[in-house]
Amino acid sequence: MTHTVSLLFGVHAHQPVGNFPEVLEDAHFRCYRPFIHTLHRFPEFRFAIHFSGWLLDWLLERYPEDMALLKEMVARGQVELFGAGDTEPVLAVIPYRDRVGQVKALSDKLDRSLGQRPEGAWLTERVWEATVVPALADSDIGYVTVDDYHFLCAGKPMEALNGYFTTEEDGRRLDLFPISEALRYRIPFSAAPDAVAYLESLAKEPGEHAAAIYFDDIEKFGIWPETYQWVYEKGWLTDFIQGVLKSPLLRTDHFRDYHRQAKTRGVVYLPTTSYIEMNEWTLPAREANEYADLVQESKNAGRFDRHKAFLRGGMWKNFLSRYPESNWMHKRMLQLSARFDALPEKQKTAALRRDLYEAQANDAYWHGLFGGLYLPHLRRAVYRAIVALERELDRQQPRPALERADLDLDGVEEVFLHNDILQAVVAEDGAAAVRELDAYALTHNFGDTLRRQPEHYHRKIQLQESSHQHKLWEEGIVSAHDRVSFKHVITPADLAVDDYGRALFLDCLWHEGEAAQPVRDYAPEERHKESALEYRSPGFKLHKVYGLEGNRLAVAYHFHEKARHGLTTEINLAMPSCDGPAGRYIHQGDVPCGFGQELELAAMTELILEDDVMGGKLILRCNRPARLVARPHFTVSQSEAGFEKIMQAVTLSLSWAPGAHQRQVEISLEVVGHRHG
């Protein structure tokens, strides 16, 4: 008797909120369009697809003819649509109310635009926590896909993972499909006949209705290195589809149909985890290196397949404790979610909800081979939503001009000083520096930069392991997980680690010929006023005062003894143009250079930073001439394109020699401009 296996084939299409238009265009022409057009030629090949809501909106607006083709495939029963959170949040790190709102928002959108309401959902980055079950069930989602690795970590044997299982939480049921890692690594990287042959090998044993479950990023079909030529020009996708359709052992099914026809394989409770590579990326550098060594030792000894369930690594929320900048964004988002939720229902407009959901988009919160924490334009998109939402919430329900809270749960209070134009957030950690400077008209945070810290992939750079990549298959291409390449030349200086978070107005005092000493003992004065913050350094008797006046942040330093010290303050400014051609310095009417170059001025009293991308400018003024050194601040990141240097901010160092400041220095930052559109 011939036994068949049901191929449950799904792909996930996503672009981060705020990604560059040219990146989206390239992704569409190299991946989304050819994939849809290829599959359209084979109506009998059933598959599932998930589009994140922001990408779907963009495709519907820009390429309605391709989306009409997809809608036709839905109508003829070829395509099953999968849901998720609308802006692709990690559901486990947003409140229950927003989980339900996000999932229902995308389900409504799919029903409205493509004619089908989803029964299943894609879990962002396959991040599983049992706490997401109630929200998914309450959003009319019956099943989700997670990795088979999740099940192995729960003690399930690999041979049992050819169907779906059931879990529950707080009285709600959810069914779980285990995605095959063996298929993820074969499709589309091994030769098409080999992938089909592997699928056929799963149909050997009689028994329950067996499924081969694949659900992975569609970007592997055209965007990853070499894949466009491999998948479309060399015909891999067509060969694979035809091979599956011709096989008497294989049939393509929808998840929803299989879910109705087959019985659950039983109850399961999964641990908090994600896919195995993510569990390495979440760890700090030293621990990630130790984990990678442990995995490699297990592979070398031939034990990895048996032991990988017990080599768990970290979990996704580690990114929030590992990167203070990610944690701060997250806690700001939660702060505004609570304020939005407290509004009367009639005031919860679609625009406010859209900004809240965009602030929850996952990409800017994490970093690994993928993830966008290191990408300023993706963090900027999150902050655009945060600042815009806060501006509108303040208009509807004004808050005090000065508030204190330990928002990021680090044991240090932050002071929020704001008016209806600007907001300065000062961390009272002894440095009394500005960690966030928001311009409401520009919907921009000038404090949105990233410190340099150790990363586990620095070891690969230092060892120059570019020749150590390998292919798993005799005929095929290298997956991005195994590829080691260099987009830029990386030097040891590029890997230097910051000993303090990047901020505005980080101060040092110094004597001629001596190393500068950071001021880390500022204590808040009790005389905080509605428009000013005051700090005093007992050791040097230095008084520091912040004030907001309209569109101007002023900082004044007062020395309460004879000026024996030189003063240097460092101002890190996130400028949207970074090292592109649209950002420039203007000094005394001239343009000495762009933000990507170094600039030194011996006696500066005014400097303009003009940014076309931002649509505005900053005017820096000093009451006494300062020596200015401006440099671009770069970090080293990794992506599927290779190791690369990314400009995060401009770093301005302003210095006054002993005696030159005459016991008082005043600095101001004036914000000019308004975002259009």
pLDDT digits (tens, 9 = 90+) for 303-350: 998 888 998 899 999 999 999 999 999 999 999 999 999 999 999 999
Do the bridges between strand 444-445 and strand 434-439 make them parallel or antiparallel, or are there none, so unpaired?
Answer: antiparallel
DSSP symbol at 364? G
Using 50, 70 and 90 to split pLDDT, how confident is the model at 514? confident
Pick the catalytic residue from 108, 169, 217, 579. Answer: 217
Q: Are 154 and 269 within 8 A, CB to CB?
A: yes
Q: What's the confidence (pLDDT) of residue 96?
A: 98
The span from the CA of 633 to the CA of 503, in Å, is 12
pTM above 0.85, yes or no: yes
Average pLDDT over residues 624-633: 96
Q: Cβ contacts of residue 513 below 8 Å, gap of 6+? A: none
Q: What's the confidence (pLDDT) of residue 225?
A: 87
Do the bridges between strand 5-13 and strand 583-586 make them parallel or antiparallel, or are there none, so unpaired?
Answer: unpaired
Mean of pLDDT over the chain: 92
pLDDT tens readout for residues 343-394: 999 999 999 999 999 999 999 999 988 889 999 999 999 999 999 999 999 9
Q: Cβ contacts of residue 259 below 8 Å, gap of 6+? A: 119, 120, 142, 143, 164, 175
Using 50, 70 and 90 to split pLDDT, how confident is the model at 468? very low
Cα Rg of the chain, angstroms? 27
The span from the CA of 340 to the CA of 625, in Å, is 45
Q: What's the confidence (pLDDT) of residue 266?
A: 97
**Could you count the other beta carbons within 10 Å of the beta carbon of residue 240?**
24
Q: What's the confidence (pLDDT) of residue 450?
A: 96
Average pLDDT over residues 63-73: 98
Pick the catalytic residue from 125, 408, 611, 670. Answer: 125
pLDDT above 70 (res 22):
yes
Choice among 53-67, 99-113, 287-301 with the minimum mean pLDDT: 287-301
pLDDT tens readout for residues 555-588: 999 987 666 789 999 999 999 998 888 999 999 9
The span from the CA of 616 to the CA of 609, in Å, is 9
Told to judge if 217 belongs to the known catalytic residues of this protein, a careful annotator would answer yes
Percent of residues, the chain, with pLDDT higher than 70: 93
Give the chain's domains with CATH numbers. 5-268 (3.20.110.20), 458-673 (2.70.98.10)
Element (H, E) at 98: helix 96-114
pLDDT tens readout for residues 426-436: 999 999 999 99
Query: What are the φ/ψ torsions at residue 555 (nearest 5 degrees)?
Result: -130, 125
Q: What is the 3-state secondary structure (H, E, C) of 502-542?
A: CCEEEEEEECCCCCCEECCCCEECCCCECCEEEEEECCCCE
Query: What are the φ/ψ torsions at residue 571 (nearest 5 degrees)?
Result: -120, 110
Most confident of 88-102, 207-221, 445-459, 524-538: 88-102
Closest by CA to 152, choosing from 143, 161, 163, 142, is: 161
Told to judge if 108 belongs to the known catalytic residues of this protein, a careful annotator would answer no
Q: What's the confidence (pLDDT) of residue 562?
A: 62
Percent of residues, the chain, with pLDDT higher than 90: 81
pLDDT tens readout for residues 70-94: 999 999 999 999 999 999 999 999 9
